[in-house]
Structure 1
Amino acid sequence: MGVGVLSGMLLAIMLVAIMLVAMISGARRLGSEREDEIAIAFCGSNKSLAPGAPIIGALFPAAAVGGVIRPLVFFHQIQLAVSC
């Protein structure tokens, strides 16, 4: 594995952690119950690959899509692993 791949994975892990903390903190500030906090943390963080892939395909030329979508795929896989 190259340094770029490892740094991308580390960045994805940090982003997932930041998003989970932000969602749980926001739910608590809004006065949500514990069950709602769990639902927000589980459902709110798993919406990246399905909407992101078509957007990337529309914004970037076909030759660049692979390099641009790779970090999104790492991020999505880490989201799934953390949410399980």
Structure 2
Amino acid sequence: MMLSLAAAALWFLVATAIAFTPSRDYHWRAAYVLIAVGLPILAGVFWQNGPWAGLAVLAGALSILRWPAIYLLRWLRKCARPRG
């Protein structure tokens, strides 16, 4: 197993453990940390294992971080809307 896939598996285990703990801010601080740590891991998976493995890890990460992804898509859609 490649080191990047092992790191991605560890990232998923930590993210799942964080999801089980109670939080006052609905896990937003943890989501920021998970994104900051997960992006280099995702880049490593793409680099070492190819696009299909990278897309699989990306899909899994988006399933865990669905609300930050939804808010990002809403913000991008709002920014892309023509003003007038």
- Normalising by structure 2, report the TM-score: 0.40
Of the two structures, which has the highest relative contact order with CA contacts closer than 8 Å and spacing of 6 or more? 1
- Normalising by structure 1, report the TM-score: 0.40
